[in-house]
Chain A
Amino acid sequence: MDVELLLRVYPFFLKAALVTLELSVLSILLGLGCGALGAGARLSRHRVLRFLGAAYVSVFRGTPALIQLFILYFGGPQIGIQLDAFTAGFIGLGINIGAYMTETMRGAIIAVDKGQNEAARTLGLSRGQAMRRVVLPQAMRLMIRPLGVNINAQIKGTSLVAAISVVELTYTAQRYIASTYKPFEMFLLAGVIYLAIISATGLGLSWLDRRAAIR
């Protein structure tokens, strides 16, 4: 274990970790947006929307995220979409995790007892009001934990953008492994930072989950 080396390189790793954090936040926000739209489409009354929602989930969950990133970043210019690596990275990752979040959100909404919706409708609320005021608040509680699993996976998933050479944590570790020939030290350093990010996120999410629980 080369402690001196670790002390010398850790500031660069922390800087790279900021990029990982940025990527995580942006792609998760985009994913939540895509998930909400996707879940709305899948639960819609219109057949076309339902089909589009199902196709989105099927295609993006049925192919590797890495391939999706490559199509966007390397294939995009062929259809006139020219993005820098960072932008392509968070957009690709966001749309990908959105497909998983679509299913998470849909699952939470249909897990709310049907009687709740029926009761609200009987009391004179419109379809939209019943969804907004009765079903969604209960579904939100149910989705925090499974969305947490998606978020946890996404933080680790940001490492994929190393393959399109975004200088985030994994890419940085890879570069330092190549130049120092100390793979274990570099792995350890990057691993500790990932673990710290994921543990902190996990704590935050379980706090949110506890707060949302029915008392």
Chain B
Amino acid sequence: MGFDFAVVVPYLGSLFQGAVWTVIVTCAGGALSLAGGVVFAVAALYAPWPVRWGIKGFLWLFRGTPLLLQLFLIYFGLVEIGIDLDAFAAGILGLGLHYATYNADVIQAGILAVDRGQMEAGRTLGLSQGQTLRKIIVPQALRDMAPPLGNNMIALLKDSALVSVIGVAELTLSAQLAISQTFRPFEFYATAGVFYYVINLGLEAILGRIERRTQVAR
């Protein structure tokens, strides 16, 4: 049985639609992971100790277990305690939480890496604590954080394929549906791979621009 990429053509529309959902899931999951990362990082650094240890335990648990398992837990498990999420919401929540734990690590390191003297100098010059944080600390921390956070976003894009397993109709599941009708796995998965590759290139270009803008002078 050879290849026949002509079978893919009638399905390009539905694959494209799947790709759009992949982008949506990635953006929503990415936004949640960044917001969650900030919350977890700040809590792990500054919250009172019971909260701090609770957050640290959660981070340890979520970083040490596979995303796929977490997706199953959220999609099938939360129903048990009365939270009934549809696959789309469960997928975004799972991706977002999983990557929030990685982002939290990056953000904590970024905040800690800014020299303490910077805060002291800012305050001495008459800036308030909030102003110093906003104008002095955060821009410097962002410089260090942007590249690793960008890597996490790229990894999140590729891991968004996992939400197909709980039934989110993104690119991978669109390919699977087409395969169930045509019995041509190679052609469709390869095409899906090309779609992912192109989305990945686009994301890398956007992240590259953001990264350059955050590289304030050292």
Decide if A159 touches B68 in the complex (CB within 8 Å).
yes
1/0 per position for A108-141, CB-CB distance to B under 8 A?
0000000000000000000000000000000000
Bound-state Cα–Cα, A75 to B191, Å: 12
Decide if B186 touches A184 in the complex (CB within 8 Å).
no
Is there a chain B Cβ closer than 8 Å to A43's Cβ?
A: no
CB distance from B213 to the nearest CB of A (A): 24
Chain A residues with Cβ below 8 Å from B201 are 62
Chain A residues with Cβ below 8 Å from B192 are 67
Tally B residues with Cβ within 8 Å of A: 39
Chain A residues with Cβ below 8 Å from B164 are 66
CB distance from B165 to the nearest CB of A (A): 6
Interface residues of B in 177-203 (CB under 8 A from A): 179, 184-187, 189-190, 192-193, 196-197, 200-201
Decide if A68 touches B193 in the complex (CB within 8 Å).
yes
Decide if A79 touches B69 in the complex (CB within 8 Å).
no
Contact of A63 among B60, B66, B77, B197 (CB under 8 A): B197
1/0 per position for A186-215, CB-CB distance to B under 8 A?
010011001100110000000000000000
Contact of B172 among A66, A79, A184 (CB under 8 A): A66
Bound-state Cα–Cα, A195 to B57, Å: 12
Q: Indicate whether A64 sits within 8 Å of B186 (C-beta atoms), given known contacts A184-B73, A184-B80.
A: no
Decide if B72 touches A177 in the complex (CB within 8 Å).
yes
Decide if A67 touches B161 in the complex (CB within 8 Å).
yes
Decide if B73 touches A187 in the complex (CB within 8 Å).
yes
Tally A residues with Cβ within 8 Å of B: 38
Closest A residue to B3 by beta carbon equals A78
Is there a chain A Cβ closer than 8 Å to B21's Cβ?
A: no
Closest B residue to A59 by beta carbon equals B197
Chain B residues with Cβ below 8 Å from A25 are none
Between B1, B66, B80, B159, the greatest number of chain A beta carbons within 10 A of the residue's beta carbon is seen for B66
**What does DSSP make chain B's interface, helix, strand, loop or mixed?**
helix
Chain A residues with Cβ below 8 Å from B60 are 195
CB distance from B42 to the nearest CB of A (A): 24
Closest A residue to B194 by beta carbon equals A63
Chain A residues with Cβ below 8 Å from B69 are 159, 170, 173, 187, 190-191, 194
CB distance from A149 to the nearest CB of B (A): 11
Decide if A62 touches B66 in the complex (CB within 8 Å).
no
Bound-state Cα–Cα, A63 to B1, Å: 25
Chain A residues with Cβ below 8 Å from B190 are 71, 75
Chain A residues with Cβ below 8 Å from B185 are 70-71, 74-75, 78
Interface residues of A in 154-192 (CB under 8 A from B): 156-160, 162-163, 170, 173-174, 177, 181-184, 187, 190-191
Is there a chain A Cβ closer than 8 Å to B64's Cβ?
A: yes
Chain A residues with Cβ below 8 Å from B193 are 63-64, 67-68, 71
Decide if B64 touches A195 in the complex (CB within 8 Å).
yes
Bound-state Cα–Cα, A132 to B61, Å: 41
CB distance from B135 to the nearest CB of A (A): 33
Decide if A174 touches B196 in the complex (CB within 8 Å).
no
Is there a chain B Cβ closer than 8 Å to A65's Cβ?
A: yes
Bound-state Cα–Cα, A157 to B70, Å: 13
Decide if B179 touches A62 in the complex (CB within 8 Å).
no
Contact of B61 among A65, A173, A174, A195 (CB under 8 A): A195
Chain A residues with Cβ below 8 Å from B1 are 77-78
A sample of 6 cross-chain residue pairs with beta-carbon separation below 8 angstroms, ordered by A number, consists of A62-B197, A71-B190, A78-B184, A79-B186, A170-B68, A187-B69
Closest A-B pairs by Cβ, 7 of them: A75-B186, A183-B77, A74-B185, A159-B66, A64-B161, A64-B158, A156-B66
